[in-house]
Amino acid sequence: MQKLTPQELMYSCLNKAEEQEMVLKDKCNKYARRIGDPVIAGILNECSKMADDHIYDIKQKKKSINIPSLIKTNMSLDTLDLMQDLVKEMTKLQTFYNDQMILITNPDIRGLLTKLRDEVMKAISMLQQRIEAMESKPTEINKVFSTREGL
């Protein structure tokens, strides 16, 4: 993976923080509706409000920092970086399915988890093959040297 610039790192951090705060807010709201105890529901509502305030602050900070390098659509990630990132995410998903298959005894659910895991593995294999093909391609500088050697 390419090294992120400090600006890209800040932006990425703010995006992840916003996502996490949104998850927290949604869970607090959902759980507050489920729980019958008004005191606990009140605490969860306060936590939801806190997360909402955090989301607002994060959005304001993202607006206030105008980082020209972030105008790029891919944030310095080329195709190879994106594919490697997908392989990492798919590997996490495959590990999740494997872990759950150990815990689940229902044969129908285990069958589904096995199917999903196997499909993810096929996708990982396809991506890895493409990554290897891309990595083995000569770079521009190698092309120049290889044509000179033939002279």
Domains of the chain, residue spans = 1-77, 78-151
Tokens of 113: 């988890």
The whole-angstrom separation of Cα 95 and Cα 109 is: 16
pTM comes to: 0.47
Range of lowest pLDDT (4-8, 67-71, 120-124): 67-71
Q: Which two tokens stand for residue 140?
A: 């521009």
In this structure, the number of other CB atoms found within 10 A of the CB of residue 70 comes to: 17
- pLDDT tens readout for residues 98-121: 988 898 888 888 899 899 999 989
For 23-53, how does the pLDDT look when each residue is reduced to its tens digit (9 = 90+)? 899 998 998 898 888 988 899 899 899 999 9
Cα–Cα–Cα angle for 81, 82, 87, rounded to 5 degrees = 95
CA angle 92, 94, 98 (to 5 degrees): 115
